[in-house]
Amino acid sequence: MKNIIIKKIFKLIIIFSLVNIILLVAVVLTAKKLDNTENAIKEFVSSSENKSFRTEELRAALDKIRETRKEVSEYDNYLFKPGDELDLITKMEKTAEKNKVSLLIVNSNLDQIINNKITLNLSVTGKYIDVLNYLLELESQDYLLTVESLDMIPAGNNKESIKMNIIISIYAE
């Protein structure tokens, strides 16, 4: 009888051990599945954050493009328009007269615009302060212009008078 009880107890211990092993395996497998699911969720969240960040960058870039287009459209007012050659020369001569300097247009490509630029080679003679005022007023004209070259030399024997040779580029349509 003791043998039967021992055998039954032994069988119960084996059954409980097997059940514990099965439960342990089930818990370990479930934990692995949870870890895999957690990793997949983290990857999804990271991917979504990256996409969101890129979307925000794209929106910012599009806003910047719209803003730049608006600003660039305003530059049209400052571009030289073919056909306005006489108006440009008249403005330059009036500015020279106003500043008491003599103006000589040495060379220009007004008749043949290259790379959307007009290049003018000017010689301006007068008192130093008047020549500087002419230059300041020339730069504040309603045109986008760049001073490419500027040289100042004494003009003859008169110590108060200088000659400024200037090459400017004016942006055109």
Question: What count of other Cβ atoms lies within 10 Å of the Cβ of residue 71?
Answer: 9
Q: What is the CATH number of the domain that holds 155?
A: 3.30.70.60
How would you label 13-44 residue by residue, b for 16+ Cβ within 10 Å and e otherwise? Answer: eeeeeeeeeeeeeeeeeeeeeeeeeeeeeeee
Residue-wise pLDDT for 7-56, tens only, equals: 888 888 888 888 888 888 888 888 899 888 888 888 888 887 777 778 88
CA-derived radius of gyration, the chain: 42
Last residue of a domain, one of 43, 76, 109: 76
**Structural domains counted in the chain:** 2
Could you tell me the pTM of the whole model? Answer: 0.57
Split at pLDDT 50, 70, 90, the class of 1 is low
Provide the domain limits for residue 62. Answer: 1-76
Split at pLDDT 50, 70, 90, the class of 125 is very high
What pLDDT score does 42 carry? 85
pLDDT beyond 80 at 132? yes
Q: Which residues pair with 168 in a beta bridge?
A: 120, 147
